[in-house]
Each structure stands twice: as C-alpha cells, then as structure tokens.
Structure 1
Amino acid sequence: MKKIVFSLFVLFFASQVKAQTIPDKAAQIKAAVLAAPQDFRKGAKVYGYDANGEWTVLREGSNEMICIADNPNAEGFSASCYHKDLEPFMERGRALKKEGKNFKQIFDTREKEAKSGSLKMPSEPASLYVLSADKADFDPMKGKVDNSYLRYVVYIPWATMESTGLSTKPDFPGMPWIMDPGTHRAHIMISPPKD
C-alpha cells in the first residue's frame, strides 16, 4: 500500500512540475508577438502550448499574421511570426514532423505536393520573422525577452537567382540572399549582423 501511495505522489508531483514549466497563455502570447512588426502584434493569431504542453491555438487572429510561441522544451528562446498565406506550408511541415519525417523527407514531400498543386503556396512574397535569445535572457513566466536577435525571411516560391538578382550566399553580414532557389521553399534570407 505504501508503494502505491508513494507512486501516486511521485506521479502527482511530476505532473505539477510539468504544468509549472508551461508559461500561462498571456505570457506566451506576449513573448510570441514580439517577433512580429509592431503593426501586426495586436491582431496576430498565436499558437502555443496548453497547461499539459499540448499544441493549441492561444488566440484567434484578426489580421494577416500568425505567431508561434516559444517551445518550452527547447533550449533558449525562439518565437516566429509569418504571413497567413504561409499557413498551409507551415502546417504541412508540422504534420510531417509529427509523423517522424526528417528535414529531407519533409522538403521532398512538400516539393512534390506544391508542384502538384495539392499544397497551396503563396502567390505573392510572404514574410517570416524569427526572434531568438539565450535562455538567460528569457523570462517565460513574464513573457519578457532581453538581448534578442531578429532575422527575416521572405518566401517567394520558385524564385531563382536570375528572377531576383540575389546571390545564393551573402557576401557580407546582413546581405540578402536566396536560399533553396527554384523550389517551393525558395526564400530571401536577411540576417542582420550581430553585435
């Protein structure tokens, strides 16, 4: 009987510790929208995690921006926001990752589906913003981030060096360049120099 009571206590304690590591909804939203330009923050849709650590919608949106809260199980801080036209592409990637697919399998599957038209890709350039920080600079319970770094991505499916005039690598820090040219995942990378 003592073993059963002890086991139940351990399970209860473990579940309480896990619940305490997930920031509340307001803190997750506050930190997630920091990745978006100021004009989009108030009305952005936000995905994050519930008290059990399950993926969920934290807030419905009223504009073109979708934000992803920091994953509490990942090291450091990372939040991202992207244009709603990228949602089919992003959602498909999340589904494939959940199935256990690796990066190449995810890329190949989405490439095939985008070419066939079963995966809808943006018809116009669509932006993604990624905000990151070291673990020491992030207070998850308050949604406060210090010393953060913001990089920018503009998806232009099927774009090439020739269609954009962009190199496939930056010649100096902060220079825009095109990654994955000629594919569904073609995008302009802009990584400002770090201090």
Structure 2
Amino acid sequence: MSDEDLIKSAMAAAPPAVAKDAAIVAISPDGQMRELRKGTNGFTCLPDNPSTPGPDPMCGDRNAMEWAKAWIEKKEPPRNKVGFLYMLAGGTDASNTDPYAQKPEATNNWVETGPHVMVVGAKGMMEGYPRNAKPDTSQPYVMWPDTPYEHLMLPVHMPEAATR
C-alpha cells in the first residue's frame, strides 16, 4: 500500500474530528514503527494490518497506545493509565480468551467484533460486564478476561443514515 492508502486506512478507525489531527503510524512486519504524519491531538492511528483476516485499523490516545505496545511486546501493561481506542472500521476477528491467538482454534473462543471502541488499562474496574468466553458481541463485554490485557469492548452500531 502507498503511504496515502495507509493514511486513509488509519483514518477510517476514528471519527473524522479525531482522525484529522491524529498522528499516523505504520508498523512493519518486523515491528518497526514509521511515522507517516505528525499529529496534534494526542491520538495515534494505525492502518489495517494486511496479514490479519479482516479490517483492523485502530486509533488510540496516549495511554491506549502504551497499553497496545505492551500487549504487542508481551510486557506488563502500564498501571493506573486508562486508555481509549477506536476501531470504527471493524476489528479483526480474534480470540476472546487468548491475546496472542493468530487463527481460530477449537479452544480459543474466536469472535467477530465489528465496529467498536475499547477501554483499556481499567483492569479491576469492569465489574458487572459479561466476562464470558463466548460473548454476545452486540453488547458490551470484557475481552481477554483474567489476563493482563483484559479490556472493555463497546460495540458501535451506526444507523444506516449515518454511514452514507
């Protein structure tokens, strides 16, 4: 993909008012980050990862990006830093119980997520939300429960008129 295509993909993750001033960063297959555009609003957007089965551009605030970096690097997420991520173009289908699953398996509770937002870094603050291995993804639920990377998934259902 060209840099222009990567920027367009990344911007699809968040509302236009957020995406227009966000930094855009591409991650190479070896994990190296390359800034495609500087941002001014504290959000960073990443384009779709072509190696995953579905669209998954995301856009997060500083705390969320620290959390995502810890997850990618298999490190402990930062403590006492709640973050917010947009995935309005949808999310790659993923295991709801294994943060590192790469494909559906009989035991990893693969789910289809669709457009959503995520609250990360709030471990211990999600009481009352479903923590089922096989959640109803049309309602809020905890993804990757009982792992260091558990987070709240909030589906976004856009009225048809709003998507035109």
How would you bin the TM-score normalised by the shorter chain? 0.5 to 0.7
Deviation of 1:191 (Å): 3.3
Query: Within the alignment, does 1:61 sit opposite 2:45 as a pair?
Result: no
Q: Tell me if 1:79 matches 2:57.
A: yes
Distance across 2 between alignment mates of 1:55 and 1:92: 14
Distance 1:47 1:58 in 2: 5
Alignment RMSD, CA only? 3.4
**Residues 14, 58 of structure 2: 8 Å contact kept:** yes
Identity among equivalent positions (%) equals 23
**Deviations for 1:81-120, whole angstroms, at most 9, x for unmatched residues?**
11111222222333x3xxxxxxxxx2xx42xxx5xxxxx3
Compute the displacement of 1:180 (Å). 4.3
- Choose between structure 1 and 2: higher helix proportion: 1
The residue that corresponds to 2:131 in the other structure is 168
Question: Who is 1:129 aligned against?
Answer: 86
Larger radius of gyration: 1
Aligned partner of 2:120 among 131, 155, 159: 155
Partners of 2:156 and 2:42 lie apart in 1 by 24
Q: TM-score, normalised by structure 2?
A: 0.63
Which residue does the alignment assign to 2:155? Answer: 191
CA deviations on 1:117-158 (whole Å, 9 max, x unpaired) are xxx3453x4221222489xxxxxxxxxxxxxx4122111432
Q: Summarize the alignment of residues 81-120 of structure 1 with structure 2, pairs less than 5 Å apart.
A: 81-94=59-72, 96=73, 106=74, 109-110=75-76, 114=77, 120=78
The unaligned stretches of length 5 or more in structure 1 are 1-22, 97-105, 115-119, 135-148
Relative to the length of structure 1, the TM-score reads 0.54
Q: 2:19 aligns with which of 25, 32, 41?
A: 41
Contact 1:80–1:129 (CA under 8 A) maintained in structure 2: yes
